Amino acid sequence: MNISRRHLLILLPTAAVAWKSVLAGTPEESPNYKMTEHWWGMLIDIPKCIGCGNCVRACATENNVPEGHFRTWVEQYHVTDWNLTNPEVISPDGGKEGFPAVKEDPNGKYFFVPKLCNHCADSPCTQVCPVGATFITPDGVVLVDPKYCLGCAYCVQACPYGCRYIHPEKRVADKCTLCYHRITKGLTTACCENCPTGARQLVDLKNPNDPIHEFLRTHSVQILKPQMATGAKVFYNGLDGSVR
Amino acid sequence: MNLFKDAGHLFRFAGLFVIAFIAFLVIRGYVVPKSFGKYGHYRAAAIDEIAALPIKYAGHQACETCHTDIATVKGKGMHAHVNCEACHGALAAHANDPASVQPVKPDTAVLCVRCHSASAARPKNFPQIDAAEHSNGVPCETCHNPHSPAIDAGGAK
């Protein structure tokens, strides 16, 4: 192929423009959102949860969660007086369509426990990723980079809370993003927005005016599996000891 | 005595090594994204890509800017803290273009019992009914205004 000087001079700026547009593929940062000013978590008030499944449906809609997989789900516990440490746990379709009605048990109790990624400050899942595809952001949200993820599922095994899955079509690890696309725009998460009783609340631990600080001081709040030292940031109020 | 008399092959090998190392650095410069390592051992641009995903639930603040009448009624009733889209579904598309995207009226026969059907697993202080016994098939909204459902509070239709 012969390229004359004239053609080369035309081609060069065209190539430069094309390369610029390739580089410009990454979206801009949200203008008013400063990552260093937030440290996100969630508060779950067990005595308020009615097991309606609104959070599960809202999450699936907002985040296109594939059928049969869950970024958040609700479990119904049945704990009997004589077997406190072996509860009977059900979660039909993640609690998406609610739960079958149960009759009062004179020898036990029933309650609901919503679960989601705990957005651990020292998360086991980010430590095992061999390619740097999962990480905790400076504002405390554990995310997956779908362009870097190989789908090796090390993180799926590492999560002590079972909050990750391999996306059946994308073949990459997928999980709760704490609705990062919403919270960075000043909205709450889809699950919190749609919780009718306020059993789930998004909390910002770096915001001194957030009611979470008052709540943590005045209530008996737990995290799941504290013995694993994950630094979980999903706080449960009124959590029963039988919940694992 | 010349130490380097027969060392030519070593120099050639060292040269190859240096060229390979430079090639490695150049390729690495191209392949590794610019934002990798900005905050840690990951691609910082991934954060912005996830933050740029589209929103499906507009949030009750968006609803209340237009539907002020319903917001006022709801604000006084038992459902004051139940957000709009908890019943009406994801409506960011409607909020962005109210004229062309119209929400579908929820079916109260399905909707109300999701929360209010009686079950021992629900909190004791939460209002619960046995649908068959409570209304015998009469639609909930015949007696209750969904936006302010308590009948004695003047919420009845």
Q: Which of chain A's residues have a Cβ under 8 Å away from the Cβ of B42? A: 132-135, 145, 148
The fold for domain A40-237 equals: Alpha-Beta Plaits (3.30.70)
Mean of the per-residue pLDDT values of chain A? 91
Sequence-distant (6+) residues with CB within 8 A of A48 are A197, A198, A199, B123
Q: Say which of B41, B83, B122 has its CB closest to residue A194.
A: B83
Chain A interface, mutation test: which of B56, B91, B113, most A Cβ atoms within 10 Å?
B56
Model confidence at A190: pLDDT above 50: yes
pLDDT, tens only, B120-143: 999 999 999 998 899 888 899 999
Q: Say which of A104, A177, A194 has its CB closest to residue B85.
A: A194
Which residues are paired to A111 by β-bridges? A77
Instruction: Return the domain boundaries, chain A.
Output: 40-237
How many Å apart are CA A133 and CA B40, to the nearest integer? Answer: 11
Residue of B nearest to A55 (CA): B86
Percent of chain A with pLDDT over 90: 85
Are B43 and A145 an interchain contact pair (Cβ–Cβ within 8 Å)?
Answer: yes
How many Å apart are CA A94 and CA A99, to the nearest integer? Answer: 10
Closest CA to A242 of A108, A148, A51: A108
Which residues are paired to A112 by β-bridges? A76
Shortest CA gap B6–chain A (Å): 45
Q: Which of chain A's residues have a Cβ under 8 Å away from the Cβ of B50? A: 143, 177, 180-181
* Confidence class for position A25, pLDDT limits 50, 70, 90: very low
Model confidence at A26: pLDDT above 50: no
Residues in chain A: 244
B55 touches chain A (CB under 8 A): yes
Write the DSSP string, B58-95. Answer: --HHHHHHH-HHHHHHHHHSTTTTS-HHHHH---HHHH
Interface predicted TM-score (ipTM): 0.85
* Confidence class for position B156, pLDDT limits 50, 70, 90: very low
Token pair belonging to B30: 């191209």
